[in-house]
Structure 1
């Protein structure tokens, strides 16, 4: 009931996850990323413990493939899970359990891996990867382009209702964590609109956290 990608920006070292689903609040359960470590999407009958586990394993020195192998060894009911991983070197790995729902498949690229379940067709993940690799600009822009391509290629078997995008950079918290938890419209486009608003302010929000004395003003009432 989900399609997603995890990716690394080779120029900046930033990591990102983007995900969409017919289920509500998909990003709350599926999207995980840690600055300097990697990004994970844990989906299909989701076990939310697997994302942090994979990140802990990579932070401890494992590659993406080693982390996925350990997740397979430690995870409960792993035959129902899909776990996508990209590590600090841009290496990718994925586990898709045989009990994943409907059409489930995956595609790997440079610094990116995509996968889904209950897909309209087997070509959706490759369309996501191709769009990510062809897109330019900020990692967030490339993730949005990839998710749009996934929808254009067929997306999920039914209509999607939620989506999310998470970005991590050099600080301990996500520098962007945008979510649409439910809509009858297109949740990917809702995230794209939110990103258009948030992107120009991203650096300022980080600066405000690090040292508000140097933060720019946005002219809100009472802010002089």
Structure 2
């Protein structure tokens, strides 16, 4: 397998108990990373599947969380059945903010993770451990809404070295019960930058537009 084929990525999954939101922030030198890595369901948890990612981990993992399995058990169930597990990196956080991570032995260096209260940071093919440390430290210190904290943390990771190969795509996903379009689903925020020379800068611009839209909606009648 060629290094260029791997989804070199750093991500952060988190739970905000005050807002009752679950979210994921991800950045990568990989086209449209937001279509692959982040999965979440309000009241259930969030999942990041990356490195030589298995997209089936997302829906299957959320189903297992919904059935009451703990993050460690979800990871064991999914990876045990996967012959390619040593190429995977999988992070899971549950409805209470408990998290676990699996980093396969064949994930490209540097690869690893940091877990804290209500969050987990993970990455592969990074410049070094300082990237995940910077993300974790920034997230813990940051103030504001969950999406804003996720973005600030990703920016800190990029400033600490980020992906060895450079940058291309980024995404934010935040779920909250009945907070989606017209209150009909839980997808409160789903922003993606698929291909850009400065994806996190572009993601920041989109996030500002999102909050402007939300503010305008509060002051406008429904169509």
Same fold, TM-score > 0.5, yes or no:
yes
Question: Following TM superposition, by how much is the alpha carbon of 1:204 offset from its aligned partner in structure 2, in angstroms?
Answer: 7.0
Distance 1:56 1:202 in 2: 30
Match of 2:43 in 1: 36
Which of 140, 150, 153 lines up with 1:146 in the alignment? 153
Which of 126, 138, 160 lines up with 1:119 in the alignment? 126
Distance 1:3 1:143 in 2: 12
Whether 1:217 aligns to 2:220 is yes
Question: Following TM superposition, by how much is the alpha carbon of 1:32 offset from its aligned partner in structure 2, in angstroms?
Answer: 0.5
Question: Alpha-carbon deviations, 1:114-139, whole Å to 9, x = none?
Answer: 11111011121121111111111100
Match of 2:68 in 1: 61
Match of 2:3 in 1: none
TM-score, normalised relative to structure 2: 0.89
Question: Following TM superposition, by how much is the alpha carbon of 1:109 offset from its aligned partner in structure 2, in angstroms?
Answer: 1.0
Task: Structure 2: give runs of 5+ residues left out of the alignment.
Answer: 1-7, 179-184
Distance 2:173 2:111 in 1: 23
TM-score, normalised relative to structure 1: 0.89
Distance 2:93 2:71 in 1: 6
Contact 1:13 1:88 in 2 (8 A): no
Distance 2:141 2:118 in 1: 12
Task: Structure 1: give runs of 5+ residues left out of the alignment.
Answer: 206-214
Whether 1:193 aligns to 2:196 is no
Question: Alpha-carbon deviations, 1:136-159, whole Å to 9, x = none?
Answer: 110011101110110111101121
Distance 1:2 1:126 in 2: 15
Give the number of equivalent residue pairs.
Answer: 210
CA RMSD of superposed structures (Å): 1.8
Which of 90, 99, 117 lines up with 1:92 in the alignment? 99
Q: Secondary structure at the match of 1:132?
A: helix
Question: Following TM superposition, by how much is the alpha carbon of 1:217 offset from its aligned partner in structure 2, in angstroms?
Answer: 2.3
Distance 2:98 2:205 in 1: 30
Question: Alpha-carbon deviations, 1:70-110, whole Å to 9, x = none?
Answer: 12222341111000111111101001000112210111111
Whether 1:2 aligns to 2:9 is yes
Following TM superposition, the consecutive aligned residue runs of length 4 or more in structure 1 with deviations greater than 4 angstroms are none
